[in-house]
């Protein structure tokens, strides 16, 4: 991957607040034209990373390149090329939503008025309400419209859809898909897994100030165990005789559930055949499994999540 294709290139980023280390060596690459899902539990360092990218926080260590420049030094030039949606939008009490959209657009160097009006309509936003009268979801819409109405080549979205209803969530996904079709790049931090699944080309998962996994969804799935479930006519007396099955569980009706390393599916089937399987399901890890596995503290191979 050449540097020119990297819109965001972070290496070993460290950020401390007093004695607390918020970011402890983050590595993150976002390629041009992709929607990059940025996931992690609360307090893992997503917003801190984004604030470093925006030049709001100064890095204590590591290298950060945004569009090939330094986000701390080249603030103005970079910010002309990006748009940002915070996760918790706070609007000016005296300004209407329409005024806030125009203000942010003007400060970025102008916005596309036709696109702005179209987005206001699509998101069913009343632009004449004053800041404090908007609900959480509507404040979020104001920031989304302001960001999408720009022609910025990079969108940095920090939990942009928190508080949006499912209908608006669909509109949002539609608009981000359009942004992607135009070849623009999106860094999307989110807790809504279906949103990430629908939009993201690649995903990075951050935990306790470090990136724990990164790759396409298919790549991440390939690293995650497959769930196997079947009825056994002749269940084994001791499950330990089937070492290929991990975390196996057998209920009193002979129903077996277990997980299997992705490259051991065939071996597992072979091992189970003598026990006469019926109603067999073999499912790849769901996104939820993927994230739960990464979010939990016991990420050491014992896979405690599967016990449930």
Q: How far is CA 54 from CA 22, 129, 155, 183, in A?
A: 16, 29, 11, 21
44-55 in b/e form (b: 16+ CB < 10 A) is bbbbbbbbbbbb
Which has the closest alpha carbon to 101: 82, 85, 80?
A: 85
Query: Which stretch of DSSP H or E encloses residue 168?
Result: helix 166-181
Residue (94 or 183) nearer to another protein, CB:
94
Segment contacting another protein (CB under 8 A): 28-36, 84-92, 172-180, 287-295? 84-92
Residue (91 or 199) nearer to another protein, CB:
91
Residue (65 or 75) nearer to another protein, CB:
75
Instruction: Give yes or no for a contact between 186 and 157, defined as CB atoms under 8 angstroms apart.
Output: yes
Q: For residue 106, state whether it binds another protein (rule: CB under 8 A).
A: yes
Segment contacting another protein (CB under 8 A): 83-91, 222-230, 237-245, 264-272? 83-91
Q: How far apart are alpha carbons 104 and 160 in whole angstroms?
A: 16
Residue (84 or 291) nearer to another protein, CB:
84
Residue (156 or 260) nearer to another protein, CB:
156
Q: With 0-12 CB in 10 A as exposed, 13-18 as middle and 19+ as buried, what is 142?
A: buried
Segment contacting another protein (CB under 8 A): 35-43, 82-90, 249-257, 300-308? 82-90
Q: How far is the CB of 250 from another protein (least distance, A)?
A: 45
Q: How far apart are alpha carbons 175 and 161 in whole angstroms?
A: 12
Residue (60 or 303) nearer to another protein, CB:
60
Q: How far is CA 83 from CA 93, 101, 135, 146, 234, in A?
A: 22, 12, 22, 8, 61
Segment contacting another protein (CB under 8 A): 126-134, 207-215, 281-289, 294-302? 126-134
Of 6, 36, 46, 79, the residue at the interface with another protein (CB under 8 A) is: 79
Six-digit token string for 298? 């016991």
Segment contacting another protein (CB under 8 A): 2-10, 26-34, 56-64, 216-224? 56-64
Q: How far is CA 29 from CA 2, 126, 181, 197, in A?
A: 11, 37, 20, 19
Q: For residue 148, state whether it binds another protein (rule: CB under 8 A).
A: no
Of 7, 39, 64, 91, the residue at the interface with another protein (CB under 8 A) is: 91
Q: For residue 94, state whether it binds another protein (rule: CB under 8 A).
A: yes
Which has the closest alpha carbon to 88: 157, 21, 155?
A: 157
Q: For residue 38, state whether it binds another protein (rule: CB under 8 A).
A: no
Q: For residue 93, state whether it binds another protein (rule: CB under 8 A).
A: yes
Strand 82-85 versus strand 154-158 pairing type: parallel
Please give the residue ranges that form the binding site for another protein (CB under 8 A). 51, 54-58, 75-77, 79-80, 82-84, 86, 88-96, 98-99, 102-104, 106-109, 113, 126-130, 132-133, 143, 156
């Amino acid at each position: 991957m050449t540097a020119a294709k990297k819109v965001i290139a972070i290496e070993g980023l460290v950020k401390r607040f007093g004695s607390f280390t918020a970011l402890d060596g983050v590595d993150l690459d976002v390629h041009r034209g992709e929607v990059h899902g940025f996931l992690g539990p609360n307090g893992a360092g997503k917003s801190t990373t984004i604030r470093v990218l925006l030049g709001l926080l100064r890095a204590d260590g590591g290298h950060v390149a945004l569009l090939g420049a330094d986000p701390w030094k080249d603030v103005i030039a970079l910010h002309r090329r990006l748009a940002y949606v915070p996760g918790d939008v706070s609007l000016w009490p005296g300004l209407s939503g329409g005024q806030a959209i125009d203000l942010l657009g003007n400060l970025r160097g102008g916005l596309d008025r036709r696109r702005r009006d179209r987005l206001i309509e699509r998101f069913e936003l009343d632009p004449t309400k004053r800041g404090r009268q908007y609900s959480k979801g509507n404040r979020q819409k104001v920031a989304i419209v302001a960001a999408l109405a720009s022609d910025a080549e990079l969108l940095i979205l920090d939990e942009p859809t928190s508080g949006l209803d499912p209908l608006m969530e669909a509109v949002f996904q539609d608009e981000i898909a359009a942004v992607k079709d135009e070849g623009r790049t999106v860094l999307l931090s989110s807790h809504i897994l279906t949103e990430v699944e629908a939009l993201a080309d690649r995903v990075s998962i951050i935990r306790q100030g470090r990136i724990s996994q990164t790759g396409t969804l298919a790549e991440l799935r390939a690293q995650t165990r497959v769930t196997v479930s079947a009825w056994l006519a002749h269940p084994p007396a001791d499950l330990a005789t089937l070492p290929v099955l991990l975390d196996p569980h057998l209920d009193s009706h002979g129903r077996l559930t277990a997980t299997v390393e992705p490259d051991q599916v065939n071996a597992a089937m072979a091992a189970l055949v003598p026990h006469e399987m019926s109603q067999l399901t073999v499912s790849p890890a769901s996104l939820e499994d993927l994230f739960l596995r990464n979010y939990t503290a016991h990420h050491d191979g014992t896979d405690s999540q599967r016990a449930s």
